Amino acid sequence: MTLPIFFFYLFALMVVGSAVMVISSRNPVHSVLFLILAFVNASGIFMLAGAEFLAMILIVVYVGAVAVLFLFVVMMLDVDFADLKKGALQYMPVGVIVGVILLLELVMLAGANFVSPEIAAGSVLPIGAGVSNTQALGEVLYTRYVFLFQGAGLILLVAMIGAIVLTLRHKTNIKRQDVIAQVARTPETAIEVVKVKSGQGL
């Protein structure tokens, strides 16, 4: 066993173990920490595959922004996860169906290399000499797959807006700014003249 193969199996084992701990940990903070560990080991696999740009993006975007932001949100909001898990069993059938579909797709993808390896080899785009991995990835994304790339960005934007709308809660006991009411104020409604007798004060 060569050294790259050893590190590949080591990173892959850490990714699978961290993913299992993400969904099995009772403490949400521990789940986020295991998620960060999974991202770091996945970036190690990308480095072994020669995709250093994807490895750095995984560290900077997911570990540096998404996971840490989620960790702070969990710690600051103090969400009662016991109440959230009460109605989780009603979504179990849908979750099982989605999981089975994803498992079948992964099995088909992995088995395609053994059944017909020429199909998988034909989809590979060779990188020319003197072209870096980052430049080759940008040329592929913004030329051959530009519409799919923009569509994925649009889907993520809609998902982000939907998450904000679903989690937005307006509290009734908080005073909020009403710009229209402020602009429409007149001196008669904004100023009250009170006549105070001498020596009495307000």
DSSP code string of the chain: --HHHHHHHHHHHHHHHHHHHHHH-SSHHHHHHHHHHHHHHHHHHHHHTT-HHHHHHIIIIIIIIIIHHHHHHHHHHT--HHHHTTTGGGGHHHHHHHHHHHHHHHHHHHHHHHH-HHHHHHT--PPPTT--HHHHHHHIIIIISHHHHHHHHHHHHHHHHHHHHHH----TTS----HHHHHT--HHHH-------TTT--
For 115, residues 6+ apart whose C-beta sits below 8 A from its C-beta are none
Condensed to tens digits (0 to 9), the pLDDT of residues 103-113 reads 888 888 777 66
- Pull the structure tokens for residue 41: 């080991």
> Would the pLDDT of 158 be above 60?
yes
Confidence of residue 13 (pLDDT cuts 50, 70, 90): very high
Give the pLDDT confidence of 19-28 residue by residue, as tens digits: 998 888 877 7
pLDDT for the residue 81:
62
Encode pLDDT of 32-76 as tens digits.
Answer: 888 888 988 999 888 888 778 888 888 888 877 777 777 777 766
Name which of 32, 33, 58, 30 is nearest 44 in CA terms: 58
The overall average pLDDT reported for the chain is: 79
Between 194 and 45, the higher pLDDT residue: 45
Domain boundaries, the chain: 1-86, 90-123, 130-168
Please give the class, per CATH, of domain 1-86.
mainly alpha
Spatial contact of 133 and 50, defined as CB atoms under 8 Å apart:
yes
